[in-house]
Chains A and B, each alone.
Chain A
Amino acid sequence: MPVYERGYRSWEHSGGAGTPAWWAIARRGITDPLKSRRFLLLLVVAWVPAIVKGGILYFTFKMGELSKLIGGNWTDISSPGFRSFLEWQTPFVLIILAIVGSGLITKDKAENGLALYFSRPLGVRDYVMGKGAITLFYYFCVTLFPVLGLCVFGYLVTNGATGMDMLLLIPLKSLVYCTISGVCYSLVLLALSSVGTRTVFVALWWVLLFATDGLAEIMAMFAPSLKILDFPGQHLNMGVLFLGGDGIKGVAPVVSLLIVVLWMAAGALVLRRRVRPVEVVS
């Protein structure tokens, strides 16, 4: 059909408010993976430990002494018990963030999509904030949200016998811990994603970062202080500050918090240098 027959109408504004750019980016990035059934299944699997812990909590309160047969942290409804729960979620954090976050900037850069973003009225901060919100949301999906769910469930099961601990303190402590940890994971993953143009390599680097857990363990046999190289371990050790419990021997939780902050700063620095409205010349 010739151009003159297709017509063109100027935009007639409906009067509604425009969407903030970072939120438009985040909303799209959050809803996209949910279209995949496999990903949805993975999310359900990531909730299995929470469901199991919830079931155990229920039977603990209903059957009393029988719960001793189970033992361990599964029946622990204090803060350290929830810290242990967050530790069990680490593999899900690794897998789900690798799936969601590896391509977030990589794909945009590979297709020169950054140029499109930055031809719009948005800045690097909006872009990073939007992308970061996606990874933070999915991090919360496998950490904070199950903890909050368990707290509410525990409070209901015990008929309020746990008091404000279960309803206020543990959720607040978990929120602070998960926010710091989640922002760090997001910034580091986005920084990795901004460096490469192949999603698979970004995912590989992400897995290697989590593999420092075992690597640091081996190296610590020669020098215990090398445990600071354990990337996910620092997050869990930092959790001792907020939720209590036993951390990494030989590394103070405050040191771990500082290391986490350093990782965040490094991630932000890389993003600042790598995310620019520059056309990729291939």
Chain B
Amino acid sequence: MASRPFEVKPSDCSIQVKGLTFAYGSDPVLKDVTFRLDQCSVGLLGPNGSGKTTLLRALLGHLHIPAGMVSTMGFDMARDAYPARRFIGWMPERGGILPGMSGVAMVAYLGELGGMPRTDALQRAHEVLNYVGLADERYREADTYSQGMRQRLKLAQALVHDPAWLFLDEPTAGLDPRGRLSMLDLVKDLARDKGFGVILSTHLLADVKAVCEEIVVLRQGKLLDHGRVDTDAETRTAQFVLEGFGDVESFAVALRARGIEPTIEERQLVATTDVDSGPRLILEAASASGYALRRMQRHTETLEDLFFQLVDESGDEAAGVLGALTGHDRGGH
């Protein structure tokens, strides 16, 4: 409780989680979660109730962890959570506004609580409020802010003490399309141009695609896997719906001979293949088998499709989908 001197940011900015298990009472929320993150932008994905917020709270050192280890920037969060939190900025999903304060007073106050000298905190509060676009509204009572302004204010308070990592819990929740894009611009700028590590917990895949380099996918408290977001993943592979006249079976054999595994659905064939070379191979197979191809419609698998498939499946099937989602081999990290 003594005066807290300034500490230099740690050289190791990684986050490591090993065998993390946590339960609320007898209800398990996180089960043997293990991963390592280097300082970059990470999307924490999962359906509601998958344990995203609980995982963030574990990374903040808010939980008494019965099994496993959480290390943030070299600090063991079971023992050294306080010093570690000086280098973490957290934007909670719900609430997160201190009533009865103006925007600048709230941000400066939380800066002081983050270990900053009073004058530094006040000066910095003005700077970050300007950065998030609240310069004109900074003296207004935070209680009167609109939802968009509240989200920006929460981002400002997470930034004020200049942390190494930002943990953002659903930062675009409740925002209109313009507000959402503006918030994503800010997060993207922080992650890509300002060198912050960002963990973006969301169920909106478009947000992850816009901002993140890596994703961590949770389902029912289990880590399905984690890897880099391949922005080409959705365009490299595509499904083609094929219709025509002729012997479907021999057409399927011809496709298989060219490395394409089709599925026959009524009178249609559905083939998943490479976007660039696939159409040529399909035409070759049709020609070779004497199949009169009448229709070849491309159906691109989006990140959303893959994600929904992933969280609905289990075991090896999910692993296969994840490979397509992240565009790299499992166990890359």
Binding site for B on A (CB under 8 A): 1-4, 6-11, 13-22, 24-25, 28, 32, 107-108, 110-113, 115-123, 125-126, 129, 277-282
Contact = CB atoms under 8 A, between A and B. Distances in A.
Nearest to B63: A277
Contact of B117 (A18, A110, A117): A18
Nearest to A22: B1
Contacts of B157: 116
A15 B97 CA distance: 29
Given A18-B117, A20-B3, A126-B1, A115 B90 contact: yes
Contact of B96 (A3, A15, A115, A277): A115
Contact of A24 (B94, B97, B112, B133): B112
B276 interface: no
B30 to A, nearest CB: 16
Contacts of A117: 113
Nearest to B82: A121
B99 A107 contact: yes
Contacts of A14: 117, 119-120
Q: Which 8 A-B pairs rank lowest in CB-CB distance, beginning with the nearest?
A: A112-B95, A16-B117, A11-B162, A119-B90, A18-B115, A18-B4, A120-B113, A121-B82
B161 interface: yes
A19 B118 contact: yes
A118 to B, nearest CB: 6
Given A112-B92, A279-B94, A7 B120 contact: no
B114 A120 contact: yes
B263 to A, nearest CB: 44
A14 B116 CA distance: 9
Given A19-B112, A123-B82, A8 B1 contact: no
Q: By CB atoms of chain A within 10 A, which of B83, B88, B95, B128 has the most?
A: B95
B62 A20 contact: no
Given A6-B133, A121-B83, A279-B53, A16 B109 contact: no
B6 to A, nearest CB: 5
Given A19-B117, A107-B100, A111-B99, A8 B85 contact: no
B85 A20 contact: no
16 contacts: A10-B162, A14-B117, A14-B120, A16-B119, A18-B4, A18-B117, A19-B3, A20-B4, A21-B4, A24-B112, A107-B99, A111-B99, A112-B94, A277-B62, A279-B92, A282-B94
A28 B121 CA distance: 14
Given A32-B100, A123-B82, A18 B95 contact: no
A3 B120 contact: no
B198 to A, nearest CB: 14
Q: By CB atoms of chain B within 10 A, which of A14, A123, A278 has the most?
A: A14
Given A3-B185, A11-B116, A119-B60, A18 B85 contact: no
Contacts of B190: 8
A117 B99 CA distance: 13
A28 B109 contact: yes
B142 to A, nearest CB: 9
Contacts of B305: none
A121 B114 contact: yes
Interface residues of B, number: 53
B226 interface: no
Nearest to A122: B113
B130 interface: yes
Contacts of B88: 119
Contact of A116 (B5, B83, B96, B193): B96
Nearest to B169: A279
B246 to A, nearest CB: 56
A108 B92 contact: no
A279 B52 CA distance: 13
Interface string B176-201: 00000000011001100110000000
Nearest to A25: B113
Contacts of B37: none
A111 B60 contact: no
Given A13-B120, A118-B60, 8 more contacts: A6-B131, A8-B194, A14-B120, A16-B117, A20-B1, A111-B97, A113-B95, A121-B86
B76 interface: no
A26 to B, nearest CB: 12
A116 B94 contact: no
B113 A21 contact: yes
B2 to A, nearest CB: 6
Contacts of A278: 62
A281 B131 CA distance: 30
A111 to B, nearest CB: 5
Given A112-B94, A119-B60, A121-B83, A24 B109 contact: yes
A17 B5 contact: yes
A204 B193 CA distance: 53
B95 A20 contact: no
Given A18-B5, A123-B82, A280-B94, A9 B127 contact: yes
Nearest to A24: B112
Contacts of A3: 131, 185-186, 189
Nearest to B161: A11
Contacts of B109: 24, 28
B124 interface: yes
